[in-house]
Amino acid sequence: MRIGVLTLQGGVEEHLEILDGLDGIVIPGGESTVIDKLARTFDLAGPLAAAIGGGLPTLATCAGLIYCARDLDNPAPGQQTLGVLDVTVRRNAFGSQRHSAEQPVPVGEDLTVDASFIRAPIVTRVGEGVEVLSRVPGPDSEPVVVGVRAGAVTALSFHPEENDDDRVHAAWLRAAALVEKFSNHVFA
């Protein structure tokens, strides 16, 4: 199984070719405006949108969620997104006092993880066919959506990778049917 990690701030010329051979992709946190600019600079935005829109299993976290969203409440000037996930996202929704909080977060029915929120976005509109995976108390203590899934795309406001816990990744691989596809090779 070949899972790519979008690392635009490194050397990237090879990415275009590599996209073809991927079974899945992770779009990690960072800064969504920078991801957007670099992806467009390297002519990667179109191929990425086509690949993800065409069903490439995708795990998007934090800035990755922002980058996948169809709409943003508060885009930076000129900021574009891939538009592959029918949600509206508000960047930096928790404000500065919640820069880097860690808290337990449900991910679907069966899983709760401790996750970091680092200048995290929230989902303010969930489109048709998009399943809510996670809610936490928001900036004004009302529950807000911080995790969604649509087909093979799982997108989260928080960082599930910070705590040496691979259960979110495993759940994504299962939801994207990659575990079945590769069961003989990897998980048997």
Structure token pair of residue 126: 């969930």
Task: In whole angstroms, give the CA distance from residue 28 to residue 90.
Answer: 17
Choose, from 15, 102, 128, 159, the residue flagged as catalytic: 159
Q: What angle do CA 123, 95, 60 make, to 5 degrees?
A: 40
Check residue 38 for interaction with ligand GLN (CB under 6 A).
no
Please choose, from the candidates 26, 39, 28, the residue with its C-alpha nearest in 3D space to the C-alpha of residue 159: 28
Is 62 annotated as catalytic? yes
Q: Binding residue for ligand GLN (CB under 6 A) from 91, 134, 145, 152?
A: 91
Is 161 annotated as catalytic? yes
State which residue, 35 or 178, has the beta carbon closest to ligand GLN: 35
For 88-114, the DSSP string reads EEETTTT-GGGTEEEEEEEETTTEEEE
Q: How many CA atoms lie within 13 A of 73 on its CB side?
A: 13
Check residue 168 for interaction with ligand GLN (CB under 6 A).
no
State which residue, 34 or 170, has the beta carbon closest to ligand GLN: 34
Q: Binding residue for ligand GLN (CB under 6 A) from 27, 39, 63, 89?
A: 63
Q: Which residues are catalytic?
A: 62, 159, 161
Catalog residues that contact ligand GLN under the rule CB under 6 A: 29-32, 62-63, 66, 91-92, 118-119
